[in-house]
Chain A
């Protein structure tokens, strides 16, 4: 019995530790390009600019947002997508 309890405890500890190690549950943005890009992000009605360096990945837009891509296209994110910038274009996947 106590062995099982140990197993449970170990699993819980492991789960928590891995959970802590995992990134926040939000949209992720990756710049695959070789130069920094700027996105306009409107989150909760507040407009701001997000500059992302070459090759960087950031997580943003936790509760959904509107974005304007470098090529002028707009998009609305629910908050769980991943966005990859390729040149001025972008791939948005669920």
Chain B
């Protein structure tokens, strides 16, 4: 009920509607309302009576308990349907007020009538709900009684001791003869009757079944056999390939065989050839055969005695043969036991047969367990022995934690059976076999999931390659997909396996369902509870919202903004803003779908604000700065800016930080607060117009006017230097070695600044050289003054040379 509520809410939210409260229909409750209540009461009555009648029938008792539990839900639903009307009636009665005392003047008759009618209706509803409540209590008591009774039955079965020697008396032979004769008679009478009356139908059916079998065999030769073919060879295929092959190897022939059996049986039944008892026996028999076939295919798939390279578990050839045989034998014994039990219910139960059958089953299963435990399945360590005979002797046994529990359970079965506790032994044998089968299947499923999730395993499989080709996925995404698939498969295996195991161990389906529902919708932790489905719904909705936002963003950017010729920086800002707004909305939707009250979120936000104030100060500051950058746009994507000592092209403005690509292709990630709080120079703010300067020095021998004119000429000749504003040249300084000039030129796109400066310098060098204008080195005149030549003391040089100083000759330009 509650799950449904959650989904309803999710659905409503999904449509972005505010929560609509659907008004409850509050029709007047008349005498017709009693009918469903009476029907429900009768159902409860019938089931309660049934408990007494079926006091010794465990299966029927379980069914009754299930039905009673379902009835309780119906009773409650009937009550819930009546309740709103009661509120309405009560409200109206309150409006009418109490009946006036005798002394006051009488009311209008219709008012009086209405009050009477409403009072009667109120009493009726109360009475009906009261009845429902009483039935609910009765149903609950019935369920309790059934549980008690079944417990007693079960304990009786397990603790009852039979005299096994008396079971093997002549009575057993007599009973066996009698029962088989009875069975024979039934089958014979059915066969002769059917043959006599419906000869043609029988012939047609037999023909159809044979034809179906032929078609099935042919089809399986064509497709299934090829699909599951196991190539000979010494090299084992990958684990994943073996695993998937084992899966199909088991499943396809088994399913084909099951389908054949089911179609045949259904066909015979539809053709009117079946009598209920024969159908019952045949069904049980075929279900048994189907189960044995499943176990046979499964053990063949896992142990592959004749194809060691396909074996899933690394056991020796000999052990593989034995294990397969033992498992099939165990399944067969259990199935035969069950089928005989079922058939006995038709031809009449017999204590000696039951005891003998159970004894044989328990002993056989026990003996098989012990034999399996003492197998030495694993090959010896590599290099330990050379020849085959020695290898068999040196094969390693099961690990202790497998071997001894097997031995113990086998001996327990044998001991219990021989001591006469047949019921217990048979129960335990069946539990061991079926639980073992379920656990083995779950384990195989889990291993398969692990195999899928392994690196590259899935990508190399047929499905993987097909997916890669179709969806043009990269190897990494196929691997990620495989991981998800593996996890999902694991989850499914456990979600299916555990309930099946619980069913096998005597839990009832309603209990499991209730537990599951509670587990997914309401995990109590102290006084609070967590709902997994709500959280999952919230997460799913969030991702849906996120994807929708992405799509909308792409559509808006690609189809609307681009065609409207909006400049790229603005587009980027809009896209980013929409992205964050979308994520925020998706998060809100997700949070509300998760069943959270947004007011509580506000509470949490309030509680967190102190923490945000201190701990997240920087992040919040960057976030707000990012919003300001997007709104104010002092620079946009593609601009060349200087900030924080770096110069580069802005590539992306996100909410926390801005990415700047430096000219050496490094990406600088600058927190937005830096860009807001400190100076940023943008070379391209509003326009890309900019100025380049080139400084040059010429020798004192040059003509300044000529230099000035030449520089202007060079600037005018350069295609990227604008004519307006004009380039100009400044005569800056009489420098130490040169006359210093600076050329200023204006560019329409400062992005070419570096190139233009380089080209200008090239041109200046060439043109100056051609014109004979010299660009001088730094030069210095050194004057030496000898103060006291006679006091010149010779310097004592050290004995060892400590390095030589090469004095370069100062070269005066005039010398050349």
Contact = CB atoms under 8 A, between A and B. Distances in A.
Interface of A: 3, 7, 11-12, 14-25, 42, 44-47, 62-66, 72-80, 89, 91-92, 94
Contacts of B596: 15, 18-19, 22
Interface of B: 1-2, 5, 21, 24, 72-73, 76-80, 82-84, 86-87, 90, 94, 122, 125-126, 129-130, 132-133, 136-141, 143, 521-522, 524-525, 527-531, 534-535, 538-539, 542, 583, 587, 590-591, 594-597, 600-601, 603-604, 654, 656
Contacts, number: 133
Contacts of A17: 604
A21 B5 CA distance: 20
Nearest to B608: A14
B2 A92 contact: no
Given A73-B90, A89-B94, 4 more contacts: A14-B604, A46-B137, A64-B80, A75-B86
Given A11-B590, A20-B528, A44 B140 contact: yes
B136 A24 contact: no
Contact of B600 (A11, A18, A46): A18
A15 to B, nearest CB: 5
A66 B136 contact: yes
Contact of B24 (A7, A63, A94): A94
Contacts of A79: 1-2
B40 to A, nearest CB: 12
A78 B87 CA distance: 15
Nearest to A18: B596
A48 to B, nearest CB: 11
A47 to B, nearest CB: 6
Nearest to B129: A74
Nearest to B73: A64
Contact of B76 (A3, A23, A74, A78): A78
B140 A3 contact: no
Contacts of A15: 535, 538-539, 590-591, 594, 596
Given A18-B591, A19-B596, A80 B126 contact: no
B133 A42 contact: yes
Nearest to B517: A63
A16 B522 contact: no
A42 B595 CA distance: 27
Contact of B141 (A16, A45, A64, A91): A45
Between B143, B527, B590, B596, the greatest number of chain A beta carbons within 10 A of the residue's beta carbon is seen for B596
Contacts of B143: 45
26 contacts: A11-B590, A12-B539, A15-B538, A15-B590, A15-B594, A18-B596, A22-B528, A23-B527, A23-B528, A24-B522, A24-B524, A25-B2, A25-B595, A45-B136, A62-B522, A64-B80, A66-B76, A66-B129, A66-B132, A66-B133, A73-B86, A73-B122, A74-B133, A75-B86, A75-B129, A78-B76
Nearest to A59: B527
Given A44-B72, A47-B137, A73-B86, A22 B600 contact: yes
| Interface of A (DSSP majority class) | mixed
Contacts of B84: 92
A46 to B, nearest CB: 6
A10 to B, nearest CB: 9
Nearest to B534: A19
A89 to B, nearest CB: 7
Given A11-B590, A64-B80, A66-B132, A73 B126 contact: yes
A76 B522 contact: no
Given A18-B596, A75-B86, A45 B528 contact: no
Contacts of A63: 1-2
Contacts of A24: 522, 524, 527-529
A44 B141 CA distance: 10
A1 to B, nearest CB: 11
B601 A18 contact: yes
B137 A42 contact: yes
Contacts of B539: 12, 15
Report the 4 A-B pairs with minimum CB-CB distance, sorted nearest first.
Answer: A45-B140, A76-B79, A74-B129, A66-B133
Contacts of B141: 45
Contacts of B73: 64
Contacts of B600: 18, 21-22
A21 B528 contact: yes
A78 B75 CA distance: 11
Nearest to A62: B522
A41 to B, nearest CB: 10
A63 B76 CA distance: 10
Contacts of A62: 522
Between A22, A44, A45, A77, the greatest number of chain B beta carbons within 10 A of the residue's beta carbon is seen for A45
Between A15, A42, A89, A91, the greatest number of chain B beta carbons within 10 A of the residue's beta carbon is seen for A15
B604 A18 contact: yes
A77 B133 CA distance: 12
Contacts of B136: 42, 45, 66
B137 A19 contact: no
B522 A25 contact: yes
Given A18-B600, A45-B72, A80 B5 contact: yes
Contacts of A42: 133, 136-137
